[in-house]
Amino acid sequence: MMQGGCFCGAIRYQADDLPFHETNCHCSICRHTSGAPFVAWFSVPKARFRILAGEPTRFRSSRQATRSFCSSCGTPLTFEHDDFPEEVDVTICSLDNPEAVLPKAHIWTSSRLTWINLTDGLPSYRESRPEGENSQD
């Protein structure tokens, strides 16, 4: 079980399953919605994720995706894609213990800022991570 929440404490959540798709996303939408050079995410089954306190604000960040954040402090919390209705992506750094989930790849590096040097040895993909494929950037 993993718990986390926003910076001000108004929103708390719990994920009751092992994370998967632990990823650093470099897409321009993640950058703009977080104000950061990339966002670290993990996925869990939507049925195993629940809000414990507060109510995040949700918005459509694209035709296919909805994001949530705390309307009091602005912390980005979740990402849901229409093509994967059984999953929810959660920001790793909103966890109480972000060291518990390590990113395993970089995605959307075609949008990566030029001053970000990827020297951590993780696989990197120009777009989304290919399912079952090991082709790297």
- Per-residue pLDDT, 128: 87
Q: CA-to-CA distance for 38 and 92, rounded, in angstroms?
A: 12
pLDDT tens readout for residues 93-121: 999 999 999 999 999 999 999 999 999 99
With beta carbons less than 8 A apart as the criterion, state whether 108 and 89 touch: no
Exposed/middle/buried for 85, CB within 10 Å: 0-12, 13-18, 19+? exposed
Tokens 């951590």 correspond to what residue?
120
- Per-residue pLDDT, 131: 67
The overall average pLDDT reported for the chain is 93
- Per-residue pLDDT, 136: 37
Close Cβ partners of 74 (under 8 Å, ≥ 6 residues apart): 7
With beta carbons less than 8 A apart as the criterion, state whether 80 and 31 touch: no
Close Cβ partners of 100 (under 8 Å, ≥ 6 residues apart): 2
Over 50: is that where the pLDDT of 75 sits?
Answer: yes
- Per-residue pLDDT, 55: 97
The CATH architecture one would assign to domain 2-111 is: Beta Complex (2.170)
